[in-house]
Each structure stands twice: as C-alpha cells, then as structure tokens.
Structure 1
C-alpha cells in the first residue's frame, strides 16, 4: 500500500509539471506549481452519506428492539424463570403440608334366613361421617434440604448467566449487521460517484470525437466503463438489500419497517478500545466463564444433598379427626412423631459419582472457555491495530487518488493525456475509497468482537434484569451473588 501511494504521489508531481509545461507552450500564463500536500488536504476521502427520507435508526434502538423481540432472547429468559420456579419448589420443602380429608361410610347389615326361598332381610343401615385435618412437617433432615436449595440457587444463577451470554451473542449479531448496512450504503455512494465520473468522461470523449481531436476508441472505452459502473452499482444495491435483511433478522422485525431509515455515521466515530490488560481483567467476569463456575457449585451441592439423604430424618404429623356416628359427634387429636433411618440405597453412590464427574467437566469447560476468550481478545486487538494502520494509509491514499484523478481529467481535457491515463486515475479513486471504507469498518468490527470477547456487551442486560426481577419477583440475593462473583476463588 505504501508503494502504491508513493507511485501516485510521484505521478502527481510529473502530471503537475507536464500540465504546466503544456500550458506554457500554448501561451497560457503558468502559475507556480502548488504543493501536493496542500492540495491533498483539500480532499475528503470519505464520500457523503446516502440521502434517505426515513427516521433515524440508531444502533441503540436496534439493540433494544432485539432484546425485547428476538425469540432466542425470550427463550433464554424463559429458562431463567424455569430455574426460579424450580428454586421455589425446593424452598417449599421447608414449609409444612396440610391435608383435609372428608369421608362418609355407609354400612348395610344383611341377614339371610335358613330357607333359600326367603329373601334376605335388611336389618339396618349404619352411617358414619368423618373429617380429618392433618399437618405434617419435617423437623430435621441432616441438611439435605439446605443443599438442595443451594443447588437450585446455583442453577438459577447459571441460567441467568446463560441468558447474559446469549444476549452477548445476539448483540454482536445486531452490531455487525448494523455496521454492514452502514458500510454497504457508503459503498453505494462510492459507486454512484464512479458512475458520475465515467459518464462525464464519456461526454468529454464524445465531444472530442465530434471535434475530430480524438478517435472512436476513447468513446468505446468510455461506454464500456459506464456499463461496468452501472453493473457494479446494481450489485452494490443488492448488497445493501441483503444487509438490511440481515439486520431485520437480528432484530426479529420486518425489513419493510426499517429499510427506509437513516443510520448513524459509525465510520466517522473514533473507536476507543481498552488496553489489553484492562480487557484481560474483564474476562474474569465474563458470563460464559462464570456460568461454568455456577454449574460447578450446583453439582457440588447436589452431591452433598445425595450424601446427606442417607442421614436420619425426624418429622411430626398432627391430625384432628371429627366424626358423627348415630347422631353422636366426637373429636380426636392425634400426634405422630416419625424417625426415619435410611439403611441402604444402592443408587446414592453412583449418583454422587455422577455429580462429581459433572463438577470436573464444569472445571475443565471453564478453563477451555477462558483460553478461547483470551484468544478472541488478542485476535480482536491484532485486528484493530491492523485496521488502524490500513485506515491511516488508505486515508492519505484516497485523498491522493482524488487529486490525481482531477489532474488527469484536466490533462485529458487539455488534450495532453490519453484516455488510458484517465481510466487508471479513476480506478485509483475507486480502489482507494473502497479500501478506506473497509479499513474503517474493520476497526468497528474489531471493537464489536472485543465487546463480545470481554463480555462488555452484557451491560445491556443489567437494567433489563433489574426490571424483570421486579416484575417476576426473583430472589433478591441473586443480584448480590452476581456482584460478588468475580471475587470468588
């Protein structure tokens, strides 16, 4: 790229000198040759925005709509609610259970005489009404319930961290799709400008042909260039349509609702990245990494619960029984104390081994995830540095190419340059501007990838979770768990 810029600058000096010499030979007054660097500064390498009449659609708007509407995000949140319901079921083990039984017994007493010819005689009917209210409560179970509650809490925490991680992935899709729309629409402007230039060149070639100073070859080449520019523009417009469809899919909305909207000028915003050390520090709180820690704690608690299930348990059952027999009402109280001592259960040992294996799996998955996240962070930084270097080089290259094209156009119109030189200059402009736009987009892509790798995109879920927690009455101490999770060993 540096060699290309050097060749363009060199050709500019030669073009300026030849242009000045040609004007001097024809009797024109020759002004001093301007400084190339001063001329370059007057050009803007980034083309103007594509004019659209619709409302402004910001990146923040897209993220909010995706968070509220996308099925994958909603399904992930539903799994959080499922874990919350499971936790409430486990908490219910601490509460007493009450049952009310209503029963009416009807006994018919029959007597059969010795003679088979005599029908059975109904001697009497006995009716008894019963009502029993029973309340039972486990008073002691060796800590089994406590471990089950802890396992359910960690499962809820894991479900929420999974929700955060799913949102991070979805946010990256939205950000990448939005950036792609901005990039492709900017490329459309480049193609439009290219088409305008080749049409102007064709008109100049046609006038020269009519004046007899140029041949038909120039006009033919110009017509070919116009056809190619129109085809390139049509292809670029299709890329824009595809980009809008991709953005609509990431937001879970209809493309017709957003395709006419304006977008933010992301390519003009300066990218601010954290330092590598800061990014590495954020990895310790990445939801994808922490959810394995939560899974590890949940399986450890489940293993302890299985182990404590073999301990003695003690409970009480109190019942009040009321009955009416022969018109006489009576009430009785009954209190039963139950001591259960498990002696042998062949399934407990294998179940404990299963949970231990799951703990080991979670630990190794956490290590592997951390390695992957470190690689993603380092790759994002490397891509960002490379994109910045290319953007700086393309910035000056695009300006130089624009100046080179203007000089080539003047030389062609002055009759001291052929059409091939003009075509080469035009090609330099298109290539340089496209390279500059791509480099700026790559800078943004590196930023998006870094947000995903460090988990910074999860900040969009904090406010969302606070609102959902109020709406669905999630346990209050889960937020404290999430705040202190980075301090756990």
Structure 2
C-alpha cells in the first residue's frame, strides 16, 4: 500500500510540475500584453536601456535613462503590474469548466482467525486479498452566478489599470529624482566656479593691498581686511567643492550606481526654453486631472472597489453549474473459500447542480458593508488626490512664473555687480577710492553670483516640478 501511495504521489507531482512549466509559456488569455514589456518601457518610448556610462561626461538624458532602467522601485512596480495582469487571467478562467482527474492503486489484505478451543476443534482461519486500480474524472462548469464572475473580472481589470498607472507614477518619480540630482550636481559645480572666481578676486585685492602697504600708500588695516576676505573666500570654495562631491554621490545612487562611482556631467548650459508651459494655469489643472498617473490610479481603484461591491453581493446568490463524473475501477479479489471475482466496474454521472446559500452567520451582510465602506474610502481618496494635484500644479506654475522672471533679474544683477567691482578696483588703484568700497563691491559680486546660481537652480526645479505635477515628464535632449 505504501509503495502504491508513493507511485501515485510521484505521478501527481510530475503532473503539477508539467502544468507549472506549461503555464509559464502558455498565455491563452494574452495577459502578458496587458502589462509593459519591461520596467522602463512606459517612459522609454523610442529610447532603450543601455550599459552603464563610463569614461565620458553624462548628459541629463543619460542620467535619467540609466536611473529608470536600473532603479529597484521601477522593477517592483513592473512586477506588481504583471501580477495583476495574471489576476485578470484568473478572472477569465472562471468562465471555463474545471476538469480534475484522480487515479490510484490499492492493495488490501484481511485475515480472520476463530477460537475453536471451547468446541474442542482446531482454530479455523480465513484470509482475503484484494487489489484495485481506479480512476475518476470530475467536471464542473458554472453556468450562471448572477454576475459574480463578471464583477470579479471587472475588479481585476480595474486593479490592473491602477497597477499600470502606479508604474507610470513610479517612473515619473524616478525620473524626477534623477533629474533633480543631476541639476543639483550642475548647481554645485556652478557654486564651485563662483567660489573660485571670488577667491581669485579677493586674492588680487590682497595682492594690491599688500603692495600699497609695502609702498607706504596703504594701511595695515586694509591689508588685514583683504587677507580676511581672501581666507573667507578660500573656506567658501572648499565647502563648495565638498558639496559638489556629495551631490555627485547622490546622482550616482539615483542612477543605480554606488555612491563612490565616478560620475562626470556635461558642462554645456541648457537651453532656456521658457515657452514650454504656455497654457493658462486653469487649463494645466484640467490637463493634470485627465492624465496625472496618481489620479488615473485613484480612479481605477475606485472602480475596482465598486466592482467588489457587486462581487460581494453576488456571493450570497445561487449558482447553477453543470457537473459530471466518469469512474473506472478494476478490482481483483482472492478469497478463501473461492468466490466469483469482480474484474471491472464503470460509472458515469451528469447533471445540473443548483447551490443556494441559506445561512452563513450573517457574514454576507458584513462583507457587503465592508465593500461599501472600502468604496467610500476610495472615493474620498480620489477627491483628496484631485485636490492635491490641483495644488501641486498651482504652486509649481506660480513658482515657475516667478523664477522665469528672476532669470533676467539675476543676470542683470550679476552684470551690475561685475561693473561695480571693476569701478571700485579702478578707483582703489588710482588712490581715489577706499578699500572699504572695494570690499563692499566684492561682497556684492559674491552675493550676485550666488543669486544667479540660485535663480537658475530654482527655475530648473520649478519647471521640473510643474512637469511632474502634470504627469508630463519625458526624455529630452538639452543643448
């Protein structure tokens, strides 16, 4: 009997294994087309993933492409979408019949001994051996279930739409993080350049003040002030270089590399395209409500919750199924005394089965209440998401308007500060200006350089945030 059990177990295991392998290659419902082909596919469009960038400056598009191809969050979102696509296949499968096979081999031995001592006779005995091979096919096909399967399938499709939208939102987030890290490196490098220019200017002022003092035309106070300004500029330059290295490590991690991986970005200045968002803010808000991945996902989750209400209610309704079975049994008996053996038996059944849920401890009512409450929560979440998206668009739009205007303002401020330092230096050399005047001009130039770097950084970030709030981030080339 144990040997027969092992044979049947091995057969069942082999059958299940073959079904698992077949499921990996046989997609009868085409669910693989319901999710993207790769984690980054929804955002790549005409681009493609490429090997890690080495030994060349990294452009913005290179950094973003590397990030969306290597980021684990993109992999996770893609896996969730594929899992939900498979759930759609499960919902489709509910419309087809199920067929199960059962097979086995049995051997039974029974021995009987009688106590004949009280009758003064020998103790008689008998034995019976039997073996049997049997097989059974069971068919079940749900014909009507008052919408339970259709509601479940509708729910699965809506959850798939939510999963695909969540994947898009994840890619948008990865895109934004990588672009922001790239701009942070560019801003840090601009700060380093500005700090070096300030250091050079203060070094020249120190040289001039020292030469005047040595010639007896300047004071020691002017020389000490110049040296103090140079030391401060030196500290600022060292700090700026450290922040640049930190920003480069953050960019490397955003690109899926170790923080200590060497990353060099391109030095070209981006084209200041100020006409990218020319529509009014009201139209932008409406556009965001139509295509923002967060809103698409929230709407799909609400539709799935409403479908779940229908599926829950249908669980308490009758189902009508077609059932059938086919059995084959081949027994063999060896019995003492000898009797006529049974060699085979067959049987079959077919019929219509009606299943009517009568009482489940009032669980169905609570399930319906739970599903309704979940739908209400999703509806509130959708409204909250709409409000948050409109606020993000409004805030980003207003910031972009102000930061775009400040691009010209910061450029004019830097030009004025540069003219001021030239005038102050000329007056100081000519002996008609004071060192305090020169020092104030240096301070104004340093502040103007910082304001220029900050203005460009804020403009880039505001443009990026507005595109992200609209769900409109995409790969582009900057000049």
Please give the TM-score of this superposition, normalised by the length of structure 2.
Answer: 0.79
Task: State the match for 1:37 in structure 2.
Answer: none
Decide which of 319, 322, 333 is 2:348's aligned counterpart: 333
Task: State the match for 1:42 in structure 2.
Answer: none
Q: CA deviation at 1:154?
A: 0.8
Decide which of 304, 308, 316 is 2:310's aligned counterpart: 304
Gaps of 5+ in 1: 1-52, 461-489
Contact 2:186 2:265 in 1 (8 A): no
Cα deviations across residues 203-245 of structure 1 (Å, max 9, x unaligned)? 2222222322222222222211111110010111121122222
Decide which of 215, 220, 224 is 2:224's aligned counterpart: 220
Cα deviations across residues 69-96 of structure 1 (Å, max 9, x unaligned)? 2222222222222222322222222222
| 1:256 partner SS | coil
Task: State the match for 1:248 in structure 2.
Answer: 252
| 2:347 partner SS | strand
Q: Provide closer, same or farther for how the CA distance between residues 119 and 442 of structure 1 changes in structure 2, counting only shifts above 3 A.
A: farther
| 1:385 partner SS | helix
Q: CA deviation at 1:193?
A: 0.6
Q: CA deviation at 1:255?
A: 2.9
Q: CA deviation at 1:258?
A: 4.2
Contact 1:69 1:251 in 2 (8 A): yes
- Does 2:301 correspond to 1:291? no
Q: Provide closer, same or farther for how the CA distance between residues 450 and 175 of structure 1 changes in structure 2, counting only shifts above 3 A.
A: same
Task: State the match for 2:417 in structure 1.
Answer: 401
Task: State the match for 1:67 in structure 2.
Answer: 68
Q: CA deviation at 1:338?
A: 1.4
| 2:264 partner SS | coil
Q: Provide closer, same or farther for how the CA distance between residues 207 and 347 of structure 1 changes in structure 2, counting only shifts above 3 A.
A: same
Decide which of 173, 182, 186 is 2:186's aligned counterpart: 182
Contact 2:140 2:322 in 1 (8 A): yes
Task: Supply the distance in 2 between the matched residues of 1:86 and 1:432 (Cα, whole angstroms).
Answer: 59
Q: CA deviation at 1:329?
A: 4.1
Task: State the match for 1:129 in structure 2.
Answer: 133
Contact 1:267 1:441 in 2 (8 A): no
Task: State the match for 1:97 in structure 2.
Answer: 98
Task: Supply the distance in 2 between the matched residues of 1:119 and 1:442 (Cα, whole angstroms).
Answer: 106
Gaps of 5+ in 2: 1-53, 333-341
Task: State the match for 1:83 in structure 2.
Answer: 84
Cα deviations across residues 250-292 of structure 1 (Å, max 9, x unaligned)? 3332233343343552375556224223311212221211222
Task: State the match for 1:421 in structure 2.
Answer: 437
Root-mean-square deviation (CA, aligned residues, Å) is 2.3
Task: Supply the distance in 2 between the matched residues of 1:287 and 1:161 (Cα, whole angstroms).
Answer: 5
Q: CA deviation at 1:334?
A: 2.5
Q: What are the equivalent positions in structure 2 for 1:348-359 lying under 5 Å apart?
A: 348-359=364-375
Task: Supply the distance in 2 between the matched residues of 1:409 and 1:363 (Cα, whole angstroms).
Answer: 67
Task: State the match for 2:282 in structure 1.
Answer: 277
- Does 2:379 correspond to 1:363? yes
- Does 2:235 correspond to 1:231? yes
Q: Provide closer, same or farther for how the CA distance between residues 113 and 431 of structure 1 changes in structure 2, counting only shifts above 3 A.
A: closer
Task: State the match for 1:201 in structure 2.
Answer: 205
Task: State the match for 1:9 in structure 2.
Answer: none
| 1:429 partner SS | helix
Please give the TM-score of this superposition, normalised by the length of structure 1.
Answer: 0.78
Decide which of 315, 335, 358 is 2:321's aligned counterpart: 315
Bigger share in helix? 1
Task: State the match for 1:112 in structure 2.
Answer: 113
Contact 1:110 1:120 in 2 (8 A): no
Cα deviations across residues 412-467 of structure 1 (Å, max 9, x unaligned)? 2222222111111111211112112211211111111111211112x57xxxxxxx
Task: Supply the distance in 2 between the matched residues of 1:66 and 1:148 (Cα, whole angstroms).
Answer: 36
Q: Provide closer, same or farther for how the CA distance between residues 114 and 211 of structure 1 changes in structure 2, counting only shifts above 3 A.
A: closer
Q: Which has the larger displacement, 56-65 or 103-112?
A: 103-112
Q: CA deviation at 1:295?
A: 1.3
Contact 2:328 2:346 in 1 (8 A): yes
Q: Provide closer, same or farther for how the CA distance between residues 258 and 273 of structure 1 changes in structure 2, counting only shifts above 3 A.
A: farther
Task: Supply the distance in 2 between the matched residues of 1:451 and 1:396 (Cα, whole angstroms).
Answer: 28
Q: Provide closer, same or farther for how the CA distance between residues 99 and 264 of structure 1 changes in structure 2, counting only shifts above 3 A.
A: farther
